[in-house]
Structures are given as C-alpha cells and as structure tokens.
Amino acid sequence: MLRRTLALLTLLALPTQVSAGEEVIAGLSQNRVAITATFVGSEILIFGAVKRESPPPGTGDLNVVVVVEGPSHPVTVRRKEKRYGIWINTDAVKVDQAPSFYAIATSAPFEQAISETEDLRHHISIPRSVRLVGEAGTAPDIESFSQAVIRIRSASGLYKLEEGAVEVQQDTLFNTSVTLPSNLTEGEYTARIFLTRQGAIVSEFETQIEVQKVGLERWIFNLAHERPLVYGILSLVIAIAAGWTASAAFRLLLRS
C-alpha cells in the first residue's frame, strides 16, 4: 500500500505534458489608406499562417473569419409613412453604435465557421455590430430599424458578407482581400482575424488600419472644422472669383 502511494505521488510530481494550441499570425498589405481627390477605393490583402508546436488536432475543420470594421457612430433612424396624402416621419429609434464600414470574409459558410455563442460574445456578424439602446418614439418593431440600417449600407457597399472568400491552404496558410469603397469615412479601422474549429474560436489577431484624407483634401477638411469662419469667407471669395472669371470669358467670346 505504501509503495502504491509513493508511486502515485511520484507521478503527480512529474510535469504534465500539455498539448500546444494553435495561434494565428497575420499581416496586411497596407496599414494606411490615403483619401485623395482621385480616390476610387482600395483593396487590402490580408494573409497569415497558423503557428503550431505540435501536429494539428484531428477534430473539426480549420476555418478563418476576417472582419474589417470602420469607426462607429450613433445613428437616428426614422420611419416615413404616407398620411393624409403626404409622407411624414412617424417613428424614430436611436442606434447607439453603427459601424461606418463592416466587411466579413470567411473560409466556410458563416454559421459553420462561427457558433452562435462566439458570435454573441465577440459581436462578429453584421446584425451583432449594430446595437440598439432605445427608441425615440413608439416603434413596435425596433429590430426593423437596425435591419433598415443594414439594408441601406449594404446597398451602398459599406456592409458585406463574403462567404468562402478566405482561401486556406494545407490547414496552415490563408489569404483573402477586402475591397474598401470610395465613400469611406475617415478614422481608425480595425481588422480582426479569428481562427476557429467546430465554430469555437481558438485564436484571435487584431490590428489597426488608418484611413485619412491627405493633401489639399486634408487641408480643406481641417479648415472647415477648425476655422469655419475663415472657410466660409474663403468659399465666398472663390465663388465670386469663379463667377467673375466665367463672366469675363463669356464677354470675350461674344466680342470675338
């Protein structure tokens, strides 16, 4: 009995071999997007690999989910109805957070790549990214207002879900691309990469993308927000000068 007890204590004292997990390592083709007068959109290549210290587990397929999210701002959504022959605002709901841009790319169908529990915890799907905090009217169906935000921004290319857009090679390497439209909002964007198995997140990577106006556009933007009086006077002077120049050119054409 004493020998068995000593043997058990010896086994417990030995270091336990823990199977190493999987870690996602990723990079972006660019971390800064410059908005100029000729900006027509941009494309960001997202690539990476899975770091392991042991062979991959045999349970569940490896999936990758990529999310690129723009700055969030509160939005008031109003519903219009036709009453007495005219269209009027009837109900209004305040959306606390609505991303200005939201793109999802997955290596498999979304429901297969991410479980409902993980989606609820990390706010990955588009409906989870739009958050309602209350209503400013008597709207009976508040969810329809968040769906309206998603529908409008999806139609303008600001919200999109691209299933199967992430290419995974040999259960280790992956890559995809996210297209940024021309109507981007300036600010700090977040890129999140999730590594999942059986819908559960096993690793996560996050980095930032800076979207900023540059050159003359940046100067005009800063002038309009920091010195609105100077901006207004300058706009008036430019308008008068442009009108006078056009008038003078027209008179010269008539004389000739």
Tell me the two tokens of residue 160.
């999109």
* Residue percentage of the chain with pLDDT more than 90: 38
Q: Which residue has the higher pLDDT, 229 or 2?
A: 229
Q: Mean of the per-residue pLDDT values for the chain?
A: 80
Domain-wise residue ranges, the chain: 21-213, 215-256
Tell me the two tokens of residue 109.
């169908």
Q: Give the containing element (helix H, strand E) for 217.
A: helix 216-226
Predicted local confidence at residue 58, as pLDDT: 64
Q: Give the containing element (helix H, strand E) for 225.
A: helix 216-226
**DSSP secondary structure, 93-120, as one string:** EEEEEEES-EEEEESS-HHHHS-HHHHH
Segment 190-247, tens digit of pLDDT? 999 999 999 999 999 999 999 887 666 665 666 566 677 766 777 788 888 888 888 7
- Rounded to an integer, what distance in angstroms lies between the CA atom of residue 34 and that of residue 155? 24
The Cα-based distances of 46 to 85, 139, 187 in angstroms read: 52, 41, 19
Q: Which residue has the higher pLDDT, 73 or 135?
A: 73
Strands in the chain per DSSP E = 22-28, 32-35, 42-52, 62-69, 72-83, 86-99, 102-106, 131-135, 159-163, 167-169, 173-180, 187-197, 200-213
Sign of CA dihedral 220, 222, 224, 229: negative
- Rounded to an integer, what distance in angstroms lies between the CA atom of residue 236 and that of residue 241? 9
| Out of 29-33, 34-38, 223-227, least confident range | 223-227
Q: Which residue has the higher pLDDT, 158 or 130?
A: 158
Predicted local confidence at residue 231, as pLDDT: 66
Give the burial class of 56: count Cβ atoms within 10 A of its Cβ; 0-12 exposed, 13-18 middle, 19 or more buried. middle
- Rounded to an integer, what distance in angstroms lies between the CA atom of residue 247 and that of residue 198? 71
The band of 8, judged by pLDDT with boundaries at 50, 70 and 90, is very low
Among 3.90.1150.10, 3.20.20.10, 1.10.150.390, 2.60.40.3880, name the CATH number for the domain at 21-213. 2.60.40.3880
Residue among 37, 64, 2 at smallest CA distance from 204: 64
Segment 97-125, tens digit of pLDDT? 889 999 999 999 999 999 999 999 999 99
Predicted local confidence at residue 136, as pLDDT: 43
